Each structure stands twice: as C-alpha cells, then as structure tokens.
Structure 1
C-alpha cells in the first residue's frame, strides 16, 4: 500500500490537464480503509477474478496473484478506453514525457514496452531467472533460442484496446499455466513468448520509461531533486521501477558531482543533501 500511495501521489505532480484520462486499480487485497483512500484519489477500483487456470491451493494462499492473471484482460475490467497504460505499483512517475512516449509508441497498434536492456544493467542477475521460466512454460529449446531476443519487462507498457496482443498474451499464459499445473504464475514470461512466437508488433522504448533499479541504481541530482541514469549525459529517468530488493532500502548513491548521498528510491523524494 505505501508503494501504491507513492505511485498515485506521483501522478498528482503534473497538474491539469493530466496526461491521461482515468486511473484504474486492481484490488487484490486492499482493506476497507485503503480501498476508500484509493477511490478518494479518483481511481476506478475493480476486484478481478481468476481468469486463468491457477492451482487452487495457490489461489487460496496467494490471492494477490490475480494482479498477474488479470493483466491480459484489462480492457474487460476497465472497458471503454482506446488505450491502456499499465504501471506496476512498485514504480512511480518522475517525468511527464513518459506518457507521450508510451502513447506515441502504441498508437498504431504496437506494444509500447521497455526491453531489459541498458548499458548500465547487470544482465547476469536475470538471465537464469528468465531461462528457467521459459523452459517451464515452453521447453529447453525455446528457452535457448530466446537468448537472441530482446526480453521485455511487463511492469510498464501501453497498448490499444483493439490490439491483438491481449488475446495472444492470454493464450500463452493459459498454455504456460497448464504446462506447469497452474503453479508457475508469470505473465511476463507468457507475454515475451507471445511476442516472439506470434511475431506481435512491438515498439521498444528506452530504459528511461521503466528504469529497473535492481539492475542498476540511478544517481541523484541534488540541483534538480531528480533521479538520473548513472552515466553521461545523466538523462532524467521518467519512471523509476523499484524492482526486487530496492523497494524498502536506503541507498548510498552518488550525485552527478560524485558526492555521496543516502536516499530512498521511493516517492516523494525528500530534500537531499550531500553527506
């Protein structure tokens, strides 16, 4: 919930007109107080069902997995929109430009999404994770062949309501769950498999639109109070995604001048001063 608050509060900083028409939120375990707060922010809150064959014991034990199984069905849960932008609740928006980039990337029916590819990223962290899940959803040969493909992170994406990707994504997700007896719930694996197997059109976006903090920590500009990519020209990051263990930690980073700073990656960004 604190991360969701951060995301929703980060959207308020852009003022009117907002760069989007509405906000939707999937409720996979909000208590009454938190649900009321989310609704008070103008969000349309929907509790999803189980749209795919997840193991019954896992449904009982981990109801939050519906946040993954519901994603290929967003147009059904939030009908009536031309385009959908998904942002994981452990991410927050720092710059308005990402909405324009996402909208433009997806406007012609392509999937606007960011590959897990950046010169600063530590690739060895995710390689075995990807390969294991791809092998279980498909087979070892498919997993090996995928090493030559861009792997896309499903934490931020844009897609029109009538794009074919939704149905292909759901189909691959269903097949992957059945192959693993409903015990491996990984929408990202299914989405990438669908993209590669079915030649779905994709418009790759730069890492500034979905910066994966566990693969490379950003630097912080004290002058602008902004997180930036950790190398020249230190472009300002549009969306910070607090992946893996970066959600709750305080980091000792360097600012653009090389001075050390202790800082949390969460929104809001408090006033920071060099140590």
Structure 2
C-alpha cells in the first residue's frame, strides 16, 4: 500500500503539461513507491484514457466551498483554487500529500523526498518566493517622493478580500508563499486552518489567488508550523531564469553553487511575444549555461 501521493489538476487546455508532469515523476525509479492522483477539472475522455494507464486515481474536482456562479463563468479550472485545500477528502487512503501544479515538472527526486519529509508532525512543507538574485519583492507607488503606497502581492489580495486591515498589514511585507507546490500530512491542522481562511478570502476576493492568500494567512497569521524548503524545490522560472549545466545535462540555479533545480515551475508563463511556452511547446528562450554559453532551450519536460 502506497503511503505517499502526488496530486495535480488540469483541464483539457493544460493536459499536455499535466501529462508531462506525470511522465517526469515516473522517470524516477523511486516513484514506484509513490501514488499519483489527478483531479479532473475538464479533461476530455480521450485525455483521461491516456492518464488512467499512468496514474493511480482520477476524480472530478468539485466546488468544495460554495462560490457564486458569476465568479466562475464556466472556468472549471478555477476549482484548483478550492479543491487543493481538501485533498484528503478526494484521496483518503494516503498519509502524506504533495501537490504539484500541472505547469511544473520534477527534475530532481530529492525535492520530492524533501517535501514528504518537511510535512512530518503536522507541518506544512512549502517554499517562499524569495532567493538570491530576486531584485524586487514588493511594488510601491511613491507620493511626493517619500510616501509609499504598498502594492505587494499579499497586501493587494488581502485588501481586495476584505480580511481586515490588521491582518493585511501582517501580510504586507511577509515573503510571499507560492501554493503551486506544497506538502501536508493527512491529519495536519494545516487543512482546517487553510479551509477556514479560504472561506473568508472567497467571500469578497477573486477566486484566482484566493487559496494562495489563505495559505499565507495560515502561516503568517495563524502561525501554522511550517518547514520552508529551498527555492530550487519550487523554481518559478518567470521570476528568475535558471542556468543549464551542459556537462550534467540539467537545469541549475543561476548562482553558485549552482544547485540542481528540483521542481521547475512555469507559473505565469514563459513568454515569447504573445506566445506562452506552457501552451506552445515549440517556444524556445535564451538560457545561459554555467559553461558560459548561450543556448536556445525549452523549459518544459523532455524538450
């Protein structure tokens, strides 16, 4: 019986990315001991027929918290902003859960093992969007050259979600936590904290981003015990491009000691003009190598 599970979600538009994520997981021999489960938010029958041969379970995602129909507007993929906070409800036979967004893929199995280790004893395993080379963490509008109006991601979402000014201030300059990759045990208090906050953020704020704000509230306001993992465990390439090691044939962090990227995350897209690499696998970008060359590379799995 497998005790650990990796879960992701997609609709038909992101099927190729989801399929690549599954293939990246299964490329590691150690993955045989880990289940793979999928939440379906609009996959076609043909797509599910492909996936069912590779994964352990596929279940339809639901609106686990009531959301006004006008906010949904037919975008079933928005269920990912709610259902990921209820993973033990969907897949109850596991002890540890690792969520990976479908626009991410596994490059180093050590990161998977770190996430499962990080969530022991009820802790949340997650990565802050903060690291060497990050030049801007919050945006500010300056009035009269000295009065600052905060526009950090946490603060902006907190104000729109009407969670209260005191809570918003606590989040204003806290390093943002990306919810695209995280781990929790089945019986962790993190689930109830997250769900409680998510109910609040969904009332007034946008659906998209609500779950991220809610988990930031759990960590920085509810003080959920958290194990913060290194940035290479959830490398958001749109924030900072990796480098490529031509000798080891792998993506690495751009600064010394050039640790291997564990999970490559294409959140927010990798763009060439108006074309997004997530939806067009032919898109290539210039990537520096640690051998001091410049290559045209895709950041998708297997390309």
- Whether TM-score is above 0.5 comes out as yes
Alpha-carbon separation, structure 1, partners of 2:110 and 2:159 = 37
For residues 135 and 213 of structure 2, the distance between their equivalents in structure 1, rounded to whole angstroms, comes to 19
Q: Counterpart of 1:117?
A: 130
The range that moved more, 89-98 or 99-108, is: 99-108
Q: 5+ unaligned residues in a row in structure 2: which ranges? A: 1-14, 140-150, 271-275, 278-282
* Among candidates 67, 73, 76, match of residue 80 of structure 2: 67
Computed over aligned residues only, the root mean square deviation of the Cα atoms, in angstroms, reads 1.8
Q: Is the 8 A contact 1:173 1:190 kept in 2?
A: yes
Aligned to 1:188: 212
Q: Greater share of strand residues, 1 or 2?
A: 2
Which of 161-170 and 182-191 deviates more?
A: 182-191
Answer yes or no: is the 8 Å Cα contact 2:171–2:216 preserved in 1. Answer: no
**Which residue of structure 1 lines up, in the alignment, with residue 299 of structure 2?**
265
Question: Which gives a bigger RCO, structure 1 or 2 (Cα 8 Å, sep 6+)?
Answer: 1
Cα distance in 1, alignment partners of residues 64 and 135 from structure 2: 34
Is it true that 1:200 corresponds to 2:224 in the alignment?
Answer: yes
Are 1:9 and 2:43 matched, yes or no? no
User: Does the CA contact (< 8 Å) of 2:284 and 2:296 recur in 1?
Assistant: yes
**TM-score (ref. length: structure 1):** 0.91
Deviations 1:214-262 (A, max 9, x none): 1100001111110000011111110000111225042101110220100
Quote how far apart the aligned CAs of 1:122 are.
4.0
Aligned 1:100-249 pairs, distance under 5 A: 100-124=113-137, 128-137=152-161, 138-180=163-205, 186-246=210-270, 248=277, 249=283
| Mapped partners of 1:96, 1:150: distance in 2 | 26
Aligned position for 1:33: 46
Equivalences, count: 267
Partner residue in 2 for 1:87: 100
1:44 aligns with 2:87: no
Which string of whole-angstrom CA distances, capped at 9 and with x for unpartnered residues, describes residues 47-101 of structure 1? 0211113221233421111111101110000011111000000000001101221
In structure 1, the residue corresponding to 2:171 is in which secondary structure? helix
2: distance between equivalents of 1:35 and 1:62?
19
Q: Distance in 1 between matches of 2:301 and 2:208?
A: 31
**1-structure distance, mates of 2:60, 2:117:** 30
For residues 128 and 261 of structure 1, the distance between their equivalents in structure 2, rounded to whole angstroms, comes to 34
Q: Secondary structure at the match of 2:37?
A: strand
Q: Can you give the 5+ residue segments of structure 1 that lack an aligned partner in the other structure?
A: 270-275
Instruction: Supply the distance in 1 between the matched residues of 2:155 and 2:245 (Cα, whole angstroms).
Output: 36
Aligned to 1:272: none
Shift of 1:148: 4.0
Measure, in 2, the Cα distance between the counterparts of 1:125 and 1:253. 26
CA distance in 2, matches of 1:190, 1:67: 14
